[in-house]
Amino acid sequence: MSDPVVIRGGTVAEASWCAPADVFVADGRVTALAEPGTPAPRGTAEIDAGGMLVLPGGVDPHCHVGFTSGDFTSLDDYAQCTTAAVFGGTTTIVDFAIPRPGQAPADAAHAQRAKAAGGLCDSALHACVVDWDETVPDQLRSLVADGMPTVKMFTTYRGETMADEDTILRTMSTLRDLGGMVVIHCEANHIIEDTQTRCSHDGRIGAEHMAATRPELAETASVAEVLAIAESLKAPVYFVHQSTPEAVELVAAARRRGLAAYTESVAHHLVLDDGLYAGAAPERFVCCPPLRPRPVVDGLARHLATGEITTIGSDHCCYDVAQKESRRSDVRAMPNGLPGVETRLPVIFSEFVAGGGLPVSRFVELTAANPARMNGLYPRKGTLMPGADADIAIWDPSARWTITSGDLHMATDYTPYEGMTVTGRPRTVLVGGRVVVHDGVLADATPRGRHLAANPITSAPARR
Ligand code: URP
Ligand code: ZN
Ligand code: ZN
């Protein structure tokens, strides 16, 4: 139970409107959005939000916590990842339960779910199917019933998480009937492996050649194939970390034909480009799909304004420099992924709201409301309407600051945004009505994280 609080004097930004309002909170929930100056009951604490935006806390739909792939495990646990999240204004993460080879999806999900209590904020989980067998339909049924209706699949990473087309089709078909949805990483593995083999023969397989080893064509081909499966089944599908405008446009065209198909982009694909692979530390930017050329990045970012991008995630993967450097001579053996749960909101706000004219409401839609909708968490998360959990980022829209890894809280020793000066950051962050971060200081480190049982996706319609 949290004490009553009123947040006064700020401008509330929801996904569809933005206006001055006082936010009343009690028992961990928003109780009212009221005219500025509305009297508060005796005993209500006041937080001054003059000059601030008052936002629903961010919902990160794509966040890997303690993720094992190949020889590497990313370095954070729930306490560390969610501490970094709340410093960055994100108050809900959606993690993945990726089975280890031979592990059943439901077993992986139950093991990962048990970790949620270590978090400073709430979390939900995507389950994951790699191989099909006769037990999978029952596992999917129990996963959806247990609040895990979204299931991650991959068309790449052979021998780890890659699923074949039959498995994708059967999983999609089963989930469609259960109110679930496949969320999928699309890169055509045969094209990637062939390209990597040719690159290695030419001595171009180190981190500095990352972009060439995973061509845009591989993403386009895989998205087209998975869309065809989804359309033949009339099954919903959500594409994670789409990195090219072409891929986004394939999904948008399918949506116009009536398919429930959605695009997630992630912050690094919207901001950083493949010029970083020519720099001094290319391994720090190795992720899948790779960073793309500047015109592709700009083409992708234009879809923030067209509405064709549904959500922005972080694809947070907390490897450190030693892990990244250890296999830098061969991208096939490298740990893929970038740390980003803490920087997602500030970087996107700075580049596209402060620096690019994106409306604040669209920012909230992309980073909080739509991620909550797509994951069966709305309207408990992603909004400040009465009844929602009081997870709130009081955001200073004009704070100028320079990102440097020593000031961040992620369990790593670098950030891909090192030295970037940005505008906007959270000043105060509340989780469940309690202040957890204020002026850059952790005010409450008590782990109160809950695993969120998500609603079936069919009952949480997305606007896009
Ligand atoms: O490079 C990435 N994205 N690593 C994390 C795993 C995944 O593919 O999402
Ligand atoms: Zn992926
Ligand atoms: Zn990922």
For residue 314, the CA-to-ligand 3 centroid distance in Å is 8
**Nearest residue CA, atom 4 of ligand 1?**
337
Look up residue 350 and give its DSSP letter.
I
**Nearest residue CA, atom 9 of ligand 1?**
315
| Ordered alpha helix ranges (H), 73-215 | 78-87, 105-113, 136-145, 165-178, 189-201, 210-213
Distances (CA, A) of 416 to 134, 286, 448: 43, 10, 30
Q: How far apart are CA 414 and CA 278, in angstroms?
A: 18
C-beta 288 within 6 A of ligand 1:
yes
Question: Burial of 300 by CB count in 10 Å (0-12 exposed, 13-18 middle, 19+ buried)?
Answer: buried
Ligand closest in space to the Cα of 222: 2
C-beta 314 within 6 A of ligand 1:
no
- Of 272, 98, 70, the C-alpha closest to 183 is 98
Q: Give pLDDT, residue 463.
A: 45
Asked whether 58 and 11 are in contact (CB, 8 A), the reply is no
For residue 7, the CA-to-ligand 3 centroid distance in Å is 35
C-beta 422 within 6 A of ligand 1:
no
Question: What average pLDDT values come out for the chain (464 residues) when binned by 10 residues?
Answer: 94 98 98 98 97 99 96 97 98 97 96 98 98 98 98 97 98 98 98 98 98 98 98 98 98 98 98 98 98 98 97 98 98 98 99 97 98 98 98 98 98 98 98 97 98 83 42
Q: Give pLDDT, residue 214.
A: 98
Q: Give pLDDT, residue 1.
A: 72
C-beta 184 within 6 A of ligand 1:
no
Q: Give pLDDT, residue 2.
A: 87
Q: Give pLDDT, residue 459.
A: 42
Q: Give pLDDT, residue 250.
A: 98
User: Does residue 30 sit in helix, strand or coil?
Assistant: strand
Q: How far apart are CA 79 and CA 84, in angstroms?
A: 9
C-beta 317 within 6 A of ligand 1:
yes
Q: Give pLDDT, residue 464.
A: 42
Instruction: Give the DSSP letter string of 302-324.
Output: HHHHHT---EEE--B----HHHH
C-beta 328 within 6 A of ligand 1:
no
C-beta 324 within 6 A of ligand 1:
no
